[in-house]
Structure 1
């Protein structure tokens, strides 16, 4: 099928609806009211269900509808965009399939089951040049815009608190149906076998409708601060779970950085008034039909010394407004109602709420065989292949003693909170062309090594990746502890060897030769391939290698110290050493010893540092200074010239040294990962490298 070319012009967006359940039916009732979209197709995993739905709505549409499987409809050249109305667990996979086919995507809430999946969908859409929008319907209704404007304008003074609930009682074998509004009847969820009670289908109230009050609270707190949204600095939760681990009802308490607090409620086994109240220093705003918008959407404003004021809004049309905003955004900026960044923040907050009450679905657990988010095999680029990230020759290098090429951008494994997030980040890094993972016995109390080992096993790519392990961290920095920790690391990772092994710290009370002897023994046994030191001085490395030469042993093949464009006044943690000084740089150049530069982005100094912002004590203590802010200014200038971020310039600086270098980073998001990897695209001249650093000619 040929790829469609809809650009948001006068022609209507040709839309396919994916799914044939209640949500699709509700959507299709309003689609004829859209000024910018027209229905062309209905797809479902069961094409017969798609045909049945098409027959139901045929009186609403002109012309023959295309019906078929999800993939058949997504790849049709008669379709420009898809609206996804399937169960939560399929949102990410279908979104990625549609994006890969060049189709714009309007995906029903929640955008995905968790933040890791949401990152993958957003990254894919932004990198592919198609529009992805979360169908959080109430955000597109004029009622929401009016409330945000009231808050921004100070109608009730300073916002203090938000109270929001969205719950319903699902018809089950134990309960008679309780109907709060007509839109909340869910006949296909009756009984404990329905999707809302199935942990394998991401059941429960938090994802199904709790996403609404979370989104509302973040938006209102943001409006109070004059921004699009705010993220909660604190989130606690409570609730009741089913025997299968699904949240039947749950509450959350949020606090935002501007002092606003929020109390949220949700559930599939609880009746609520389903309203929103915003409490200010001089009054309140109440939304009486904030979610379904089908009975009587009204906003009541009560202010001190004033008669209550009421605004009424249309009781329908939100889906059509949503569709038109989606279609318009294809030719312009993201919809004002909700951005991808907003959706990512909501997904992260929902993760926190679920984590607070102990809801983690079976397919998310750290012992699960978590597959790729697309459900397709992970594509491992061939050695040296650029994969769209720069020239292949700059992406990898060779280290003596290793048969595999080594990516020059190295993924740190100490920032991933769980396997689902680690899997998304690691998969993404590999597709960019990366193959080196840096971990340590010390990281996250062993969780980092277990997650990495589990991911490698799930993907079956141990022979394709280079694993760096580290041990003998202070106070257990001695040959005996090294041996014990090495075996524990191998066991945690489920592997029989580590490609590179480094001492995590140095202990100068022990002769360097004693460390060399035990490392050489482990190399003889095949447990490690090459070894070196992290946070070792070049003098101690020279001592170790002199001992090795004199005694017929292997020496240190690598060093891993801090090295970056921003030079620290002190290093963040005890026992750390840098290699920014002239003596270290000269020795590394003379010896041509590969340096793995940890924190190559200088703790995100080039992205986050602001002389007026001193909230990050560690960043301020280590990197704030006039020389570094001048280097930041120069990096920003080169970043504009090269079309990359200042952080990518900082990493490129590391890669353009007269000795072999590898830039280590620990991205927490896919956007950070992609941004950092762009360093391999940057070609700096020796003069630019010197200018960045401030060297005198």
Structure 2
């Protein structure tokens, strides 16, 4: 087997361990290093025999080296995600020290980028490659201790409190949870999944707490986890306290204890380990011996996978989904414990670059009468980001994609989602560049009085002085349309709203409102914001929802030229393969809301046309919305940067009006 040529970015203490591990295997070799410190670079290079011309002063030069197949990233935590993205965009395979990102959104962006580029990625949880973990899983499969009931595991040490060290510096994402809490959580998820006969699983409930030290990081942290199957776990981590540093798995027949699950042979071989199995009053001890350093296992697993051309390691090494699942638990644990990273604050907002692959088509824009700028034809829905750290990743990507329009709602997240978006716009300084759609007056507060009261609250949350576009979220048939038109014009006159419209309004009420506005020489409704997708909505997604994909509404839009902002433009994922659809509640799932013989025919036609255009059926469905003869815009709700990337190819598709009609069965 050809040896994988490795480069190391960040030659610190743990990089020495990995480099030693490479020396002890046949499948990989260290060929290059990168460090901003020339002294560290020289010392490391001399110790491990790195050629002088392969000692780089920056990571960009190492990544540009065509002889390097893979990189090992062992820098401080805040650099992991961006360096990994830079590496995979350069076509390099990556083994990144844990955590692979500071939050779930970062690590998701990392794993999606690796998938887009078709290269190997693994998070460096070296303990998972040690033979004792594989033996533990065998014992569970053999039913040696029966059904797993409880997992108790910890990782903690007593380090001197030093505000300048990475462990105690919030700016470097210090603290126990991110540094060592990842070990017990990942093991608990692995064991709970093994008991269920599956890959690692997420807990259904997390309850965490922590001691926050003087520097602001969590010093000692504990959490209780509950998994399906009534499996419980208690996990603990510390950087100022010695903990048991073991793992005990209790089952219906007995227990298994790993006295040292994390670091057998961490700094030097041998990496010997023992497993204690107790059934009744009998305890047996199994011994595992290997002369190599612990990191040799990790180096070997990664090198073999890369040499064989696979993009993820084999179980029980952590694959992308496993790593993301573990970090999701750490996020929950950390936030419950009151430890806020700088990225959760406006002043500490972080940015990930190059989250989109090259070669995507550019965004398109259209004008809406009364708006002072062009608006991106796709509009991102902002109803799913609960914190600034996660929101910034998706919204920065949206800007990178060319999007400038954001859809909000007074009721989204009980107001939290407006606040998070407002903090992001303020932190990035882009409030004046964004076209924000502000929605209010959702049932049961769909009244003229509620419009004014809610708008003031929304603008305060969003930190805006006016709403470029204001949309009534619902209609109220008990209120005459003139009352709504009057209050909206008053707000427009006072500079609080620009143009306005209605969501889930019938064309009759929409026309009635505009007839009144014309008679009184007032501004009328400019925008209809109903569901519009190639699949017709057979059952309302939520009570009071209206679809515009019927002949009468389409004719109204075509004749009047009214701008239409469609929500659920992709029919809740109806045009995606079933395995790629986002999990939704049963009564809002695509198969429930959109299933019908007519829609099955539309899906069939979209699939046929997609095959001809070398795109996916959902791209055809999105292009259908964007290709209407009236100004048509699509609201989309991507939760990750990868979902943005998979949506943008719709812009490369030009549909004729004949194809638009044919896809919609208008023949």
What is the TM-score normalised by the length of structure 1?
A: 0.85
Q: Secondary structure at the match of 1:415?
A: coil
1:358, distance to aligned residue in structure 2 (A): 1.3
Tell me the equivalent position of 1:371: 350
Aligned partners of 1:401 and 1:351: how far apart in 2? 43
1:146-295 correspondence runs (5 A): 146-170=135-159, 172=160, 191-294=162-265
CA distance in 1, matches of 2:605, 2:146: 42
User: Of the candidates 312, 316, 321, which is equivalent to residue 334 of structure 1?
Assistant: 312
Q: In the comparison of the two structures, how many residue pairs are matched?
A: 654
2:394 paired residue number: 425
Counterpart of 2:329 in structure 1 is 349
Contact in 1 for aligned 2:386/2:420 (Cα 8 Å) = no
Instruction: Find out whether 1:21 has 2:21 as its counterpart.
Output: no
Indicate conservation of the 8 Å contact 2:535/2:594, yes or no.
Answer: no
The structural deviation recorded for 1:99 is 3.3
Q: 1:688 to 1:152 in 2, by over 3 A?
A: farther
Alignment-derived partner of residue 175 in structure 1: none
CA distance in 2, matches of 1:614, 1:341: 16
- Provide the rounded CA distance (Å) in 2 between the counterparts of 1:680 and 1:46: 45
Note the alpha carbon deviations across 1:165-196, whole angstroms, 9 max, x for none: 111122x2xxxxxxxxxxxxxxxxx5344221
CA contact (8 A) 1:605 1:623 kept: no
Q: SS state of the match for residue 308, structure 1?
A: strand
Question: Relative to structure 1, is the Cα distance of residues 121 and 405 closer, same or farther in structure 2, using a 3 angstrom cutoff?
Answer: same
Find the aligned partners of 1:524 and 1:402 in 2 and give their Cα distance: 15
| 2:648 is the alignment partner of 1:680 | no
Q: Answer whether contact 1:561 1:579 (CA < 8 A) is retained.
A: yes
Match of 1:179 in 2: none
686 and 202 in structure 1: CA distance in 2 versus 1, 3 angstrom threshold: same
1:564–1:650 contact (8 Å) kept in structure 2: yes
SS in 1 for 2:298: helix
Aligned partners of 2:346 and 2:427 also within 8 Å: no
Unmatched 5+ stretches in structure 2: 266-270
Displacement after TM superposition at 1:628 (Å): 8.2
Q: Choose from 511, 514, 533 the match for 2:502.
A: 533
Contact 1:15–1:83 (8 Å) recurs in 2: yes
Offset at residue 640 of structure 1 (A): 7.4
Asked if the contact 2:34/2:57 (under 8 Å) is kept, the reply is yes
Tell which deviates more after alignment, 316-325 or 105-114: 316-325
Give the 3 Å change call, closer, same or farther, for CA 696–477 of structure 1 in structure 2: closer
* In 2: Cα distance, 1:163 partner to 1:627 partner: 53
Q: Secondary structure at the match of 2:318?
A: coil
The residue aligned with 1:299 is 275
Choose the corresponding residue for 1:39, options 30, 51, 57: 30
Alpha-carbon spacing, 1:639–1:264, altered in 2? closer, same or farther (3 Å): farther
617 and 632 in structure 1: CA distance in 2 versus 1, 3 angstrom threshold: farther
Q: State the secondary structure of the residue aligned to 2:79.
A: helix
> Aligned with 1:264: secondary structure?
strand
Change (3 A) 1:679 1:617: same
Aligned residues of 1:566 and 1:623 also touching (Cα < 8 A): no
SS at match of 2:183: helix
Aligned to 2:515: 546
Residue 484 (1) aligns with residue 453 (2):
yes
Match of 2:296 among 291, 303, 320: 320
CA contact (8 A) 1:106 1:135 kept: yes
The answer to whether the Cα contact below 8 Å between 2:350 and 2:389 also exists between their aligned partners in 1 is: no
User: Which of 399, 419, 428 is 1:450 aligned to?
Assistant: 419
Deviations 1:82-120 (A, max 9, x none): 211111122123223333444332110111211122122
CA RMSD of aligned residues (A): 3.3
State which of 484, 489, 493 in structure 2 corresponds to 1:520: 489
Distance 2:136 2:631 in 1: 57
Q: Is the 8 A contact 2:263 2:294 kept in 1?
A: no
Judged with a 3 Å threshold, the aligned counterparts in structure 2 of structure 1 residues 519 and 62 are, in CA distance, closer, same or farther, namely closer
Q: Distance in 1 between matches of 2:144 and 2:56?
A: 50
Q: Could you tell me how far 1:210 is from its partner in structure 2?
A: 0.8
* TM superposition shift of 1:335: 0.9
Cα offset for 1:247?
Answer: 1.4
Give CA-to-partner distance per residue, 1:130-183, whole Å, 9 cap, x none: 33321111122232233234434544333332222111122x2xxxxxxxxxxx
> Do 2:481 and 2:509's aligned partners in 1 also have CA atoms closer than 8 Å?
yes
CA distance in 2, matches of 1:165, 1:319: 21
On the 8 A contact 2:31/2:50 being kept in 1, the answer is: no
Residue 493 of structure 1: how far off its partner (Å): 2.2
> Which stretch of the first structure deviates more once superposed, 207-216 or 594-603?
594-603
Distance in 2, matches of 1:653 and 1:523, equals 33
Task: Give 1:315 shift.
Answer: 5.9
Q: CA deviation at 1:517?
A: 3.0
Indicate the residue corresponding to 1:185 in structure 2. none
Q: 1:323 to 1:616 in 2, by over 3 A?
A: same
CA contact (8 A) 1:240 1:247 kept: yes
Aligned residues of 2:11 and 2:40 also touching (Cα < 8 A)? yes
In the TM superposition, what are the counterparts of 1:99-138 in structure 2 within 5 Å?
99-138=88-127
Q: In 1, Cα distance between the equivalents of 2:397 and 2:348?
A: 17
Mapping 1:68-87, distance limit 5 Å: 68-87=57-76
